[in-house]
A and B are shown apart, each in its own frame.
Chain A
Amino acid sequence: MTLEVLRFALRGLAANKLRSGLTTLGILIGVGAVIMLVAVGNGSSQQVQKNIERLGTNTLTVMPSTSGGRGGGGGGGFARLLRAAGGAAQQTGPRAQAKSLTVDDARALADAKSAPSVKSVSPVVTASSANATYEGTAHAIQQFVGTYPAYFEASNDPVARGTYFSDDDVLNDRKVVVIGNTVAEDLFGTVDPLGRQITVSGVNFTVVGVLKTKGSSGFQDADDVAIAPLPAVQQSLTGYGALNQIVVQAKSPKTVDAAQSEVTGILNQRHDITGSNTADFQILNQASLQSAISSSSRTFTVLLGAVAAISLLVGGIGITNIMLVTVTERTREIGIRKAIGAPKGAILGQFLVEATVLSLLGGLLGVAAGVIGSQFTVVGVQPVIVPSSIALALGVSVAIGLFFGSYPANRAAKLRPIEALRHE
């Protein structure tokens, strides 16, 4: 009997192939859109997350404040790539005599007693567009960074080949350098750069390591960089003036905020910042930037999901409409079936199965379309499928079929045979 009902339903669908096909298409598009758009949203948020993560972990970046900016968080370790990112002055009010960041400031921050949450401190100077040459080949390095070895860990810059420079190199003022992949390729091509010398501003630097590729962050090439000991860079490129930034690494993700307040306290004291005047430095906190960005990308995903959900709903209304038309059109048939002894359940079952098959078929095809579509890069974003979105979209599409199909089917099944038979 159940089998018969199933057969009747399939026959009913087959009798109207175009209509069944179009209804299925509606659901297909709805389900596919949900999966695809959620995957795009998820993919872009993961991409942003990754971009932030490769800038370093648990880091705070202290930069001189160029303007009396408003308060708020910011990003850390981020500065190298996102110099323009809005920073934060700690207080508002008239600015005291602005002091620049110095190596002494960095040394004070490294004091384990007054800053127990701080793991390492790296003073940083940067020279942009430093011209480097190797045997006649020239390349303008976008960022030439002078710092301490702790910088590599803090800013998440592992080397792919060779080694980092050491504290010893810093203390002894050695001219060694770790270069980014772009620099290595441009200057050396296929030649192994390790141990060779490049000339920057007339000073020879020995290459000791090549950084792991970070890729483009969308703003600039993160691999077009060279990192050398602080005194070497100061001597040859930037001079012994102010630091561009101090990168502070906290001991753990939990202590980032504590570290930030310790750093703020120490620098406030050293720079004579009191309640009424504006700080002359700003601190970019990577964690807060990360959470700000991830919450905004969540909003983005939800928005995409909502748009997709609407298209799913429209698909559902399509099913309801088709079922209404089908049932109305076949009221006579329903009357005949009831007259020869079809129970209400069989009639109801037949139309419910029709609706469910339409929505399930559309749903499954939609899942296939969504999964296949997610393999392609969409406007520069590699979609990442959220498994729960598949279950949700499929579940919703079947529920829609059952729910919206049951209304007209129930109405038809309740008719007295003669009423249905007289229906024209």
Chain B
Amino acid sequence: MTTVLDVQDVTKVYGTGDTAVHALRGVRLTVDQGDYVAIMGASGSGKSTLMNILGCLDVPSGGRYLLDGLDVGALDDRRLAVLRNRRIGFVFQSFNLIPRMSALANVELPLAYGGVKAAERRRRALAALAQVGLADRVGHEPNELSGGQQQRVAVARALVTSPALLLADEPTGNLDTRSTEDVLGVLDRLSADGRTIVLITHEDDVAARAKRVIRLVDGRIVEDRRAAPVAGPPPGPMGTGVRHR
């Protein structure tokens, strides 16, 4: 079993002196390939902070973080960019779509930076948008989409490169039951394909779809519960398990 994520005593302090905020106070965590991890915790417990570090978007104040055995802190800018582009799909809590660009163009963007040809790019972007149920909204710009639709575009953008590691910060936070089911179905399928998934959620029924649930309180891991074996399929809706395709 290969370890994909290896977080060693990571701390994160925002600000200095009296106003310093200790968002992470020594997090130790390893995630194996193919695992499906849900991170839970109260608001402000440091979930997003941890996620940003996992996604190589931010650097820890202390400790080390290894991705695929590589110390991320030692990588230069260019290799970090390749890593973010090829290995990681990131869904932001606040969508982070580029304004004045159509849903299709937004989803195509990671492929463009990955050097994929235009026709191939378009085909894959359309497929990813269809997967999240937005085939009829490809030409709309972010400000013409509802919150839930924007979130699903963000999910499509994260999975369009077929990344081995999918990091999602509350991907269902703004979605109704049906859309939540669509997105979770996509994640289940990716997990069944053997991809590694880490997601943040406040909802128990979303966490119930993961193989492992981690609970954060004040920047520390207080609970790490395995619900299903790493090697097996994800528990699926109501813990019924998802069939392999």
Contact = CB atoms under 8 A, between A and B. Distances in A.
Interface in B149-198: 157
B59 A343 contact: no
B245 to A, nearest CB: 27
A368 B96 CA distance: 43
Contacts of A338: 81, 84
A343 B113 contact: yes
A4 interface: yes
Contacts of B97: 336
Given A4-B112, A346-B113, A418-B52, A340 B57 contact: no
A338 B57 CA distance: 8
A341 B100 contact: no
B235 to A, nearest CB: 30
A340 B78 contact: no
Contact of A336 (B52, B96, B115): B96
A339 interface: yes
A346 B109 CA distance: 12
Given A416-B57, A416-B59, A337 B98 contact: yes
A333 B99 contact: yes
Interface in B37-69: 52, 55, 57-59
Interface of A: 1, 4, 11, 15, 332-333, 335-346, 416-418, 421
11 contacts: A1-B115, A335-B96, A339-B57, A340-B84, A341-B82, A343-B77, A343-B82, A345-B78, A417-B57, A418-B52, A418-B57
Contacts of B83: 341
B90 A339 contact: yes
B interface bracket (residues with beta carbon within 8 Å of A): 20 to 34
A15, A338, A340: residue with the most chain B Cβ atoms closer than 10 Å: A340
B81 A342 contact: yes
A42 B136 CA distance: 64
A337 B77 contact: no
Given A339-B96, A421-B96, A344 B78 contact: yes
Given A341-B110, A341-B113, A342-B113, 20 more contacts: A1-B112, A4-B112, A15-B100, A333-B99, A335-B96, A338-B81, A339-B90, A340-B84, A340-B110, A340-B157, A341-B84, A341-B85, A341-B114, A342-B85, A343-B82, A344-B77, A417-B57, A421-B57, A421-B92, A421-B96
A11 B141 CA distance: 14
Interface of B: 52, 55, 57-59, 77-78, 81-86, 90, 92, 96-101, 109-110, 112-115, 157
Q: Is the interface of A mostly helix, strand, loop or mixed?
A: helix
Contacts of A346: 113
In the A-B complex, the 10 residue pairs with the closest CB atoms:
A341-B85, A343-B81, A418-B58, A341-B84, A417-B57, A340-B110, A418-B57, A4-B112, A342-B113, A336-B96
Contacts of B98: 333, 336-337
B58 A337 contact: no
Nearest to B48: A418
B81 A341 contact: yes
B99 A340 contact: no
B90 A340 contact: yes
B77 to A, nearest CB: 5
A315 B157 CA distance: 40
A338 B59 CA distance: 14
Nearest to A333: B98
B120 to A, nearest CB: 13
Contacts of B58: 416-418
Contacts of B110: 340-341
B141 to A, nearest CB: 11
A4, A332, A346: residue with the most chain B Cβ atoms closer than 10 Å: A4
A339 B55 contact: yes
Given A416-B57, A418-B52, A421-B57, A337 B113 contact: yes
A416 B52 CA distance: 11
A11 B55 CA distance: 28
A102 B109 CA distance: 94
Nearest to B86: A341
A337 B110 CA distance: 8
Contacts of A339: 55, 57, 84, 90, 92, 96
A352 B223 CA distance: 49
A244 B95 CA distance: 95
Contact of A343 (B78, B99, B157): B78
A192 to B, nearest CB: 78
B98, B113, B115: residue with the most chain A Cβ atoms closer than 10 Å: B113
Given A416-B59, A418-B52, A421-B57, A337 B90 contact: no
Contacts of B92: 339, 421
B100, B112, B114: residue with the most chain A Cβ atoms closer than 10 Å: B112
B115 A340 contact: no
A338 B84 CA distance: 8
Contacts of B112: 1, 4
A418 B84 CA distance: 13
Contacts of B90: 339-340
A333 B59 CA distance: 20
A324 B157 CA distance: 29
A348 to B, nearest CB: 11
Contacts of A344: 77-78, 81
A43 to B, nearest CB: 48
A17 to B, nearest CB: 12
Contacts of B100: 15
A340 B113 contact: yes
